[in-house]
Amino acid sequence: MEKYIRRSAAAMCACLTLCWAVTGGAENAAPAQEAAAETAQETAAPAETAAYSVLSSGSKGEEVRRLQERLTELGYEPGAADGIYGSGTKKAVRAFQKANGLKTDGTAGPQTQAALYSQAAVRAAEKPAPVDVLASELPMLVNKEHPVGENFEPADLVPLNEVCDPGLVKIKYKNTRAVRQAAVALTEMLEAAREDGVTKWQVSAAYRSYESQESILNARISTYLKRNSGWSRKKARSAALRTVAEPGASEHHLGLAIDINVPGASSFLGTKQCSWLHEHCWDYGFIVRYQEGKESITGFTAEAWHIRYVGAEHARVMRDRGLCLEEYLQGIAEGSIEMPRPEVTEEVLLGD
């Protein structure tokens, strides 16, 4: 019965209010280049590493182009083979280094290039298909005990600034994406708020990849190390994990969690927007995911700004019974809560 609930003494924060800037950097893979024959002839033995110059961010030229073509051939998706060592190339080099047991610094030094052009180079793992996170009749649970895998990706992610009216809500970072259904529900909700005279909203975070969460955690660890000379990395990491979720354990990976605040306000709690949101979000399918009094169940400190899309039928039961998601799912599993019937929309009634 403890399947969904695990009591954890150390409550932690699920997301970062301050949003350590995370940029998408999702480059499209260039079509596979026909460089196989050429590179096979040039396969380098480790002894020949001296023949390679160090390529890193900002490097340009034929060597970079060849590097990009080889990365593409191995499935690492550096983007177009344009001969410019940009963020896409760096990301692909890091992925190659990680898969090949090399130091993951994103710099293509002699050792990395020798491994890259070697016939023993490990190819990129095939990415699993994106997951329809709303396909299940119950909301998906993501927390410390139920993390998603490194390659998890929700299906149907859309850029919020394309879905949401900029006059309705400011999207703080332009690459912010969310699952379409959650984005549409957000828009409907904020339109209703506007009718009630409550405006000035901002989204500071929504979907976050495993890699982004890793960057956020690493940035926080670096900050602790800088501020506290003498701290070990282990100590800094455990301090960072009190406020940043471990990669895989953040609900933002689902593309259904949204951090909302008021532009320019130092705190969301106490604003009229916060009061409106906490009263009405349920009717639009969102829950206030981390609430006071539930810290020992959710494992996170209360976050007034973090809402999670689950669908109105589930959200209303959680509101009416005062349950957090873990309690709700456990109640359903135990049979003490009846599974709510899916909402029948007008569209379905009118459909053929």
Q: Does 94 interact with Zn ion (rule: CB under 5 A)?
A: no
Q: Does 299 interact with Zn ion (rule: CB under 5 A)?
A: no
Q: Does 206 interact with Zn ion (rule: CB under 5 A)?
A: no
One residue of 12, 15, 183, 206 binding Zn ion per CB under 5 A = 15
Is the separation of the CB atoms in 113 and 96 below 8 Å? no
Q: 134-138, long-range: CB within 8 Å, 24+ apart, which pairs? A: 134/179, 134/181, 134/256, 134/311, 137/339, 137/342, 138/314, 138/329, 138/332, 138/339
One residue of 90, 177, 306, 314 binding Zn ion per CB under 5 A = 306
Quick one: CA torsion of 182, 138, 14, 9, rounded to 10 degrees?
Answer: 160
Stretch that binds Zn ion, among 7-15, 71-79, 164-172, 225-233 (CB under 5 A): 7-15
Nearest CA among 190, 142, 148 for reference residue 166 = 190
Residue (91 or 306) nearer to Zn ion, CB:
306
Q: Does 308 interact with Zn ion (rule: CB under 5 A)?
A: no
Could you tell me the smallest distance in angstroms from the CB atom of residue 208 to Zn ion?
9
Residue (245 or 332) nearer to Zn ion, CB:
245
Task: Give the whole-angstrom CA distance, residue 343 versus residue 349.
Answer: 11
Q: Does 77 interact with Zn ion (rule: CB under 5 A)?
A: no
Residue (89 or 298) nearer to Zn ion, CB:
298
Site for Zn ion in 95-114 (CB under 5 A): none
Residue (59 or 261) nearer to Zn ion, CB:
261
Q: Does 259 interact with Zn ion (rule: CB under 5 A)?
A: yes
Known catalytic residue: 303? Answer: yes
Residue (51 or 269) nearer to Zn ion, CB:
269
Task: Give the whole-angstrom CA distance, residue 335 versus residue 236.
Answer: 43
Task: Give the whole-angstrom CA distance, residue 324 versus residue 156.
Answer: 26
Task: Give the whole-angstrom CA distance, residue 24 versus residue 141.
Answer: 24
Task: Give the whole-angstrom CA distance, residue 217 versus residue 103.
Answer: 19
Q: Does 289 interact with Zn ion (rule: CB under 5 A)?
A: no
Catalytic residue of the set 69, 77, 153, 303? 303
Q: For strands 169-171 and 201-205, give the pairing.
A: parallel
The footprint of Zn ion (CB under 5 A) covers: 15, 259, 306
Catalytic residues: 303
